[in-house]
């Protein structure tokens, strides 16, 4: 009886793990889409790298701490060595914003360029612009694309 109960609990636990894992995976896949659940698609926002409104918001500003989400593409005009400079009205001249960047291998289900390098962000005070850079200092390839989330700078004292 004890081995039957143990086997049943093991199978039940395995089933729950598989179902939860699939749910988390599909939730992550949907959330990773730049236009998932937003009132404007990322392709509409990309012209001039405008922002994409978050669910439940009206207009371009997002609900909560996220101010903007956009896709940045590296081009010959914005690449300098291992960096690609961002151009967005919310971050230009603002060194205090918080950026979160992920690589986008297939922007808008179109052709992109695989950038097989770890990336980071830095603020260039001379240009008053944020840049995404390859941490190993490899040249930034043209057509590399990045999902960029802009959060407001923290306010108040700590």
pLDDT in tens, 27-76: 444 444 444 443 333 333 333 444 444 443 333 333 345 668 999 999 99
pLDDT in tens, 89-141: 989 999 999 999 999 988 877 777 889 999 999 999 999 999 999 999 999 99
- Give the Cα separation of 53 and 81 in Å (integer): 32
**Beta bridge partner(s), residue 104:** 145
At 85, is the pLDDT very low, low, confident or very high (cuts 50, 70, 90)? very high
Residues 20-58: b if buried by 16+ CB within 10 A, e if exposed? eeeeeeeeeeeeeebbeebeeebeebbeebbbbbbeeee
Q: Where are the domains of the chain?
A: 42-151
**What counts of helices (H) and strands (E) characterise the chain?**
2, 7
pTM of the model: 0.58
At 10, is the pLDDT very low, low, confident or very high (cuts 50, 70, 90)? low
What mean pLDDT is predicted for residues 10-20?
A: 59
């Amino acid at each position: 009886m004890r081995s039957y109960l143990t086997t049943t609990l093991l199978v039940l636990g395995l089933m729950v793990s598989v179902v939860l894992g699939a749910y988390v995976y599909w939730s992550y896949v949907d959330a990773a889409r730049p236009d998932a659940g937003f009132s404007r698609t990322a392709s509409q926002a990309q012209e001039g790298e405008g922002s994409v409104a978050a669910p439940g918001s009206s207009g371009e500003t997002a609900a909560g701490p996220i101010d903007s989400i956009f896709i940045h593409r590296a081009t010959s005009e914005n690449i300098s060595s291992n960096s690609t400079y961002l151009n967005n009205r919310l971050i230009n001249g603002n060194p205090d914003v918080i950026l979160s960047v992920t690589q986008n291998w297939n922007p808008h289900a179109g052709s992109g360029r695989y950038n097989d390098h770890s990336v980071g962000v830095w603020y260039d005070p001379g240009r008053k612009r944020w840049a995404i850079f390859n941490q190993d200092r490899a040249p930034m390839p043209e057509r590399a694309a990045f999902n960029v989330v802009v959060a407001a700078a923290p306010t108040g004292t700590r």
